[in-house]
Amino acid sequence: MIFAFGSVLSALSGSPAQLIACRSLMGIGGALIMPSTLSILTNVFRDPKERGRAIAIWAGFSGLGVAIGPVVGGVLLTHFSWSSVFWVNLPIGALALVGGHFFVPESKDPSAPRLDPLGAVLSMVGLGALLFGIIEGPSQGWSSTEVLASFAIGIAGMIAFIMWETSTDHPMLDMSFFSNPRFTAANSAITLTFFALFGSLFLMTQYWQFVHGYSPLAAGVRLIPYAMTMMVMAPLSARFVERLGTKRVVTIGLSIIALAMMVLSTIHTDSSYTRVIVNMCFMALGMALVMAPATESVMGSLPREKAGVGSAVNDTTRQVGGALGVAVIGSLVASAYASGIDDVAGSFGLRGAQLANARSSLGAALKEATTMGATGKEFARAASDSFVNGLSHGLLVGAGVVVLAAIVAYRYLPARAAVPGDRPTEEYVDMIPVAGS
């Protein structure tokens, strides 16, 4: 209901500020929905093998959403107004409400603690300030007072959050869960993977639309092979885990992602669609091998009555990793792009407001190119080259982060279940990690 109500308000928004506020309301609704999906699966499928397969299918449907979302959004934007992307949520929400009422069983923690509003506020202040500083760094300057103050507030907020969560008797996030190496390693792998993937996909969308000139619909259609790869392979990951174990499957998946990102970092302004999408499909393959097994490790490491907490932490790590990835990798690319524009500005006579506008984004630079007469086409090419150069640096950083995730997974994830059951203290034989196991 909250998500649907936020969609209506977003569709009726009359200014960017109103839209952002209404989208925040949608975010609250989504934050209430997503953790419930995993906790429902955990309570319905209690056998570890069945649970792993159910989560793998759940991950496959996530891939389907990746395919449908951009295409539907592109169709709506091509034929209707921007508000249509919010109106379309209403019939979907109505179907979900009816289906949930009739088919979803009730489940809850019998000893659920009180809410932790202070912890929620501290986490939002800490993460929000950190993200603001990272995003504003390229434009305001990394040593500017505004950016440094944001980092200081963010660090202080996160320290205060951790201190509060370890001292209160009703924490929003029970820090003792992180003493379980399976829980910690799986969440770390998910966070670092989504850091790299969200950051890279955000930039690749700009690559398709600005460098290659595709419309939103055309860009969405061209991402279908990427999404289909994830949709098909994610359900199969459970079978691979049964044969090879969680540790090996997740490590292999992360290694494939890192290698694909390294190869993708070698693309140029005029690289063919086939070359780019093949590498993106390998990224999707790696993602399919990581997402379901790592998620099952998070959910399986906690008692069933704590499934909601585990699901919430799992979704939080995804969102935090993705937000940081977009902010950090996006800022690195923006800095490299702006530096490239500065290098060629003198050759094209750019200065003042025109230079500042061109430095702000590739889209703005391409608009400036249309006003430059005979040299416009050459400047557009130079701006695109600067963006792709920055994109290459960002992809390499993302690949490095995924390599770190692979090391964490290989070192700390347990190999496989030893005793069927649902108690995390008995479920795995190698909770003490042994390299190479």
Confidence of residue 305 (pLDDT cuts 50, 70, 90): low
Residue 2 has a pLDDT of 85
My answer on whether 87 and 122 are in the same domain is no
- The residue out of 171, 194, 217 marking a domain boundary is 171
My answer on whether 122 and 92 are in the same domain is no
Q: In terms of pLDDT, which residue wins out, 212 or 99?
A: 212
My answer on whether 349 and 311 are in the same domain is yes
My answer on whether 138 and 287 are in the same domain is no
Confidence of residue 432 (pLDDT cuts 50, 70, 90): very low
- Which of 332, 339, 228, 335 lies closest to 280 in space, CA to CA? 228
pLDDT at 338 over 50: yes
Question: Average pLDDT of 91-111?
Answer: 74
Q: Rounded CA gap, 141 and 107, in Å?
A: 49
Residue 108 has a pLDDT of 62
Question: What single letter denotes the amino acid at residue 169?
Answer: D
- Which of 87, 59, 62 lies closest to 73 in space, CA to CA? 87
Residue 308 has a pLDDT of 67
Residue 436 has a pLDDT of 38
My answer on whether 280 and 389 are in the same domain is yes
Q: How far are the Cα atoms of 45, 189, 347, 412 from residue 408, in angstroms, in the given order?
A: 28, 7, 47, 6
List of long-range contacts for 148-155, beta carbons under 8 Å, 24+ apart:
153/125, 153/126, 153/129, 154/125, 154/126, 154/127, 154/128, 154/129, 154/130, 155/126, 155/130
Torsion of CA 157, 163, 165, 166, to 10 degrees: 160
My answer on whether 236 and 340 are in the same domain is yes
- Which of 91, 83, 77 lies closest to 12 in space, CA to CA? 83
CB 293, CB 241: distance < 8 Å: yes
Question: Average pLDDT of 304-315?
Answer: 70
332: left (phi over 0), alpha (psi -120 to 50) or beta: alpha
Q: Which domain holds residue 79?
A: 2-99+182-427
Q: Is 162 in a helix, a strand, or coil?
A: helix
Q: Rounded CA gap, 327 and 33, in Å?
A: 25
- Which of 323, 324, 325, 381 lies closest to 348 in space, CA to CA? 381
User: 295 in a domain, yes or no?
Assistant: yes
pLDDT at 19 over 80: yes
Question: Average pLDDT of 101-117?
Answer: 69
User: 214 in a domain, yes or no?
Assistant: yes
User: 437 in a domain, yes or no?
Assistant: no
User: 177 in a domain, yes or no?
Assistant: no
My answer on whether 14 and 62 are in the same domain is yes
- The residue out of 146, 171, 196 marking a domain boundary is 171
Residue 331 has a pLDDT of 84
My answer on whether 133 and 212 are in the same domain is no
| Entry pTM | 0.78
Confidence of residue 392 (pLDDT cuts 50, 70, 90): very high
- Which of 62, 39, 33 lies closest to 51 in space, CA to CA? 39
Element at 353 (helix H, strand E): helix 352-360
> Of the given ranges (15-19, 187-191, 404-408, 414-418), which has the lowest mean pLDDT?
414-418
CB 4, CB 89: distance < 8 Å: yes
User: 107 in a domain, yes or no?
Assistant: no
Query: Residue holding tokens 């008692």?
Result: 303
Query: Residue holding tokens 């595709």?
Result: 214
Residue 78 has a pLDDT of 78
Cβ burial, residue 46 (10 Å; 0-12/13-18/19+): exposed
What's the total number of domains in the chain?
A: 2
My answer on whether 231 and 305 are in the same domain is yes
My answer on whether 150 and 237 are in the same domain is no
Measured at the CA of 418, the angle between CA 415 and CA 423, to 5 degrees, comes to: 105
Residue 72 has a pLDDT of 80
User: 111 in a domain, yes or no?
Assistant: no
Three-state helix/strand/coil letters over 307-345: HHHHHHHHHHHHHHHHHHHHHHHHHHHHHHHHHHHHHHH
Question: Average pLDDT of 52-56?
Answer: 77
Q: In terms of pLDDT, which residue wins out, 311 or 127?
A: 127
Residue 196 has a pLDDT of 81
pLDDT at 388 over 90: yes
pLDDT at 430 over 60: no
Domain CATH code at residue 307: 1.20.1250.20
My answer on whether 122 and 269 are in the same domain is no
User: 292 in a domain, yes or no?
Assistant: yes
Residue 149 has a pLDDT of 93
My answer on whether 82 and 121 are in the same domain is no
Q: How far are the Cα atoms of 57, 69, 160 from residue 61, in angstroms, in the given order?
A: 6, 12, 37
User: 147 in a domain, yes or no?
Assistant: yes
Confidence of residue 278 (pLDDT cuts 50, 70, 90): very high
What is the distance between the terminal CA atoms of the chain, rounded to a whole angstrom? 47
